Chains A and B, each alone.
Chain A
C-alpha cells in the first residue's frame, strides 16, 4: 500500500528522455484519450437516433472551435494508438526487439501518426472545411 512510507524507486525525472520512453507513455495517454473519445462517438450515434434537432446540436458542438481542437487531438490520438498498436502487435510475436530496431520503430510510430493525421485533415480541407 502506498500509505506506508516506503522508499520509492527512481522515477521518471532521473532518466534521460529517449524515444522509446516517449512512445510508451504516449500509448497510454492516447489510450485514455480515446476511451473518452469513444463516448463522443456514442453521443454522435445517439444524436443521430434521437432526431434532427439533437444531431444539429451535436454538429454545432463538434464544429465549434473547442470541438475542432478536441477532434484534432482525438484524430491524432487514434492515428498514434493505431500505428504504435500495430508496432506492439509486431513486438508481441517476438520481432523488432534489437535496440536499433526498437528505436527505429518508435520513430516510425510517431512520424506515421503525424502523417495519418495530416492525411485525415487534408481530406477534411479538400472537402471544403469541417462538419
Chain B
C-alpha cells in the first residue's frame, strides 16, 4: 500500500492532498490501531472469563492434574489464544499510554520498541510452553 504523495508525482499537483489522506490519515495506518484494539477487547471478554473460571477450577490441583488440564485440546487452544490476544491488546494499549506521556522522542521510540519485543517474547514463550505441555514433548 504505497499511498504517499511524492513531490514530483504529477498526481499530487492535479489532485487535492485530501484525496490521499482520506481513509488512512496522517499516520498512514488509518483506523487500524483503534479497530484491532476493539477486536482484541471483544475476544478478551470471552477469553478472560474462560481463563478466570479455568484458574478457579484448578485452585487445588496438584502438578499432574494441572498439567493434564492444560494439555486438553480445547484448554490448550484457548490458553494460547488468551496469551497471544492479551499481549496483543496490551501492546496496543501501552503504546497509546507511552505516546501520550513520554514526550522525549528517543525515549518514546525506545519504549515502544521495548514493549513490542517484550510482548513477542512473552507471547512466544507462553505458546511454546503450552505446546510443550499439550504435545508432551
**Which B residues are CB-close (under 8 A) to A3?**
104
Per a CB cutoff under 8 Å, which of A35, A45, A78, A120 touches B83? A45
In the complex, which residue of chain A has the Cβ closest to the Cβ of B71? A48
Bitwise interface map of B from 59 to 84 toward A, beta carbon under 8 Å scored 1, else 0: 11001001100100000000100110
CB distance from B62 to the nearest CB of A (A): 9
Interface check A69, CB cutoff 8 A: no
Bitwise interface map of B from 98 to 134 toward A, beta carbon under 8 Å scored 1, else 0: 0000011100000000010000001001101110110
* Contact assessment for A45 and B70 in the assembled complex, using a CB-CB cutoff below 8 Å: yes
Per a CB cutoff under 8 Å, which of B59, B87, B94 touches A124? B59
In the complex, which residue of chain B has the Cβ closest to the Cβ of A130? B59
CB distance from B74 to the nearest CB of A (A): 16
* Contact assessment for B93 and A31 in the assembled complex, using a CB-CB cutoff below 8 Å: yes
How many A residues have CB within 8 A of the partner chain?
33
In the complex, which residue of chain A has the Cβ closest to the Cβ of B97? A28
CB distance from A61 to the nearest CB of B (A): 15
Interface check A89, CB cutoff 8 A: yes
**Which A residues are CB-close (under 8 A) to B66?**
48, 55
Interface check B42, CB cutoff 8 A: yes
* Contact assessment for A38 and B90 in the assembled complex, using a CB-CB cutoff below 8 Å: yes
The answer to whether A55 and B63 touch (CB under 8 A), given A45-B70, A46-B125, A120-B52, is yes
Q: Could you say which of A48, A92, A124 has the most chain B C-beta atoms within 10 Å of its C-beta?
A: A48
Give the CA-CA distance A89 to B97 in the complex, in Å: 19
Interface check A96, CB cutoff 8 A: no
In the complex, which residue of chain B has the Cβ closest to the Cβ of A78? B48
A-B contact pairs, 15 of them (CB 8 A): A3-B104, A32-B93, A35-B94, A38-B83, A41-B51, A41-B126, A42-B83, A42-B122, A49-B130, A55-B63, A56-B63, A85-B41, A85-B44, A92-B38, A124-B56
Closest 8 CB pairs of A and B: A2-B103, A49-B129, A35-B90, A45-B129, A42-B126, A49-B132, A52-B63, A31-B93
Q: A52-B63, A78-B48, A128-B60 are in contact. List 8 more A-B contacts (CB 8 A).
A: A28-B97, A31-B97, A41-B51, A48-B133, A82-B49, A92-B38, A120-B52, A124-B59
